[in-house]
Amino acid sequence: MSSYPTDSNRAHPLSLSPDYKSSVLRAPSRPLIPMRHTLSELTGPVYGHETVRSGDNDLTTQHKGEPLGERIIVHGHVLDEDGRGVPNTLVEIWQANACGRYIHVRDQHPAPLDPNFTGAGRAQSDATGYYEFVTIKPGAYPWGNHHNAWRPAHIHFSVFGHSFVSRLVTQMYFPGDPLFAFDPIFNSVPDEKARYRMVSDFDLENTQPEWALCYRFDIVMRGKNATPMETK
């Protein structure tokens, strides 16, 4: 039996981030107990990879019409701590629509749903770790954390490695968002450099003329350049 290394966990947000109010109730109040992974946890089959179809990575073609909003390309590599691409990784995303609204019973704020946008997609990284999505730039949305609380525009990412225990979840942000300074979730990552590893780069080189702006988001699974992941 063995465990994955945990050194880079220091980049991740603290379980208890009092400004992020729901973390107060759900953060463990006692020290965590390390648990060794079983062999079957580390080597067993992983849900989902075999069912990814071409087109699942295009969130703009899931309905009869095109969704409203700014079409964007989001792409990058899933990388290990040495900068090598991680192939065959299941990358799943979910996000609000251009107006900042989710199709979710808990999201009832007065912004319109888009009948042509569900807001979920998935892709599998290729042999070099590369993945790509086509989607709509999500809007900022209000949330009830504190007075006048708004989330910076973001896309949720889930990355599944080669076993069930290798799922990691993070959020991708857009460069230059004026809401960064006011967002307790973004700021729950204590180290500033680590925090900005969750912010995508504007990618002019891969922007498609007359069609879509492009953003690059490389996801580093661990090591000193690890992308901060949600640990709760």
The verdict on whether 196 is a catalytic residue reads: no
As given in the structure block, the two tokens for residue 150 are 């708004």
As given in the structure block, the two tokens for residue 29 are 């109040």
Q: Which residue from 116, 161, 140, 136 is spatially nearest to 74, judged by alpha carbons? A: 136
Give the pairing of strands 213-216 and 201-202: antiparallel
The verdict on whether 154 is a catalytic residue reads: yes
Catalytic residue among 75, 151, 195, 197: 151
Catalytic residue among 37, 49, 71, 156: 156
Catalytic residue among 77, 154, 195, 197: 154
Would you call 188 exposed, middle or buried from its count of C-beta atoms within 10 A (0-12, 13-18, 19+)? buried
Contacts of 31 (CB under 8 A, 6+ apart): none
Contacts of 91 (CB under 8 A, 6+ apart): 78, 122, 123, 124, 125, 131, 157, 158, 159, 160, 219
Catalytic residue among 141, 195, 197, 222: 141
The verdict on whether 146 is a catalytic residue reads: no
Q: Under a CB-based contact definition with an 8 Å cutoff, are residues 153 and 32 in contact?
A: no
Cα–Cα distances (Å) from 225 to 13, 81, 176, in that order, read 15, 7, 21
Total residues belonging to the chain: 232
The verdict on whether 53 is a catalytic residue reads: no
The verdict on whether 104 is a catalytic residue reads: no
| Residues annotated as part of the active site | 102, 141, 151, 154, 156
